[in-house]
Amino acid sequence: MILYDFKILSLVAFCALLLGFSARSCAAAELSDADVDELFNRHPDSVWQPLAESWDDVKSRMESPVENLSLPLEYYPNGLVKARLFADASQIFPDGIIFATGVKVHFYDETGKRNGYLKADDCIFDREASHGYCKGKVEVLKDSDILKGVGMYFSISSEFIKIITECEIRTNRFKGNLGRFL
């Protein structure tokens, strides 16, 4: 399972390193490679923006939160859990929306072995669409790769994340000395 697209992240980080641009300006740059264009454009803001816009309304309706929640979010076809939500406080609404604070989502492979996590200050999650939006500090670990930032959209079913601002990437996927490019 790939939790996030390292093709995109690597391209953006590499662009920023080589050209001195910010990751945002690299992501916004017009690219001519169709595969790269498809990766950048497959999760437009219109997909997660409704969750961000409903944030204040949903948070204000959180009147009787459950403390120390543990809830499976998605399963593999073999019945094993693909992702499990843990939250300090949360409320599940009748429309399938979950609002949670002190969030940690554990990710598992097809054999049930934990292979990553997502941590966030606060999060809203749509169970039906299997995607969410987080405010505040976020961190994602997958194998030995770490992504950190502020604000995030994620899709469990599409295995995709998008850090909104202040993205930091720590990876060992670049082999060799990057200094030779500078």
Long-range contacts of 91-96 (CB under 8 A, 24+ apart): 91/61, 91/62, 91/63, 91/64, 91/65, 91/66, 92/66, 92/127, 93/58, 93/61, 96/126, 96/127, 96/128
Low-confidence ranges of the chain (pLDDT < 70): 1-43, 174-182
- Any residues with CB less than 8 A from the CB of 176 and at least 6 apart, and which? none
- Output the pLDDT for position 134: 92
pTM exceeds cut of 0.75: no
pLDDT given for residue 174 in this prediction: 67
Domain boundaries defined on the chain: 48-173
Residue 90 CB burial class (10 angstroms; 0-12, 13-18, ≥19): buried
Q: CA 38 to CA 142: how far, in whole Å?
A: 23
pLDDT score of 124 = 93
What pLDDT score was predicted for residue 73?
83
* Distance (Å, whole) CA 84 – CA 79: 13
Q: What is the pLDDT of residue 70?
A: 94
CB atoms within 10 A of CB 99: 25
Report pLDDT for 90: 92
Q: How far apart are CA 85 and CA 71, in angstroms?
A: 5
151 vs 164: CA distance, rounded Å: 5
Q: Which fold has domain 48-173?
A: lipopolysaccharide transport protein A fold (2.60.450)
What does the pLDDT read at residue 175? 66
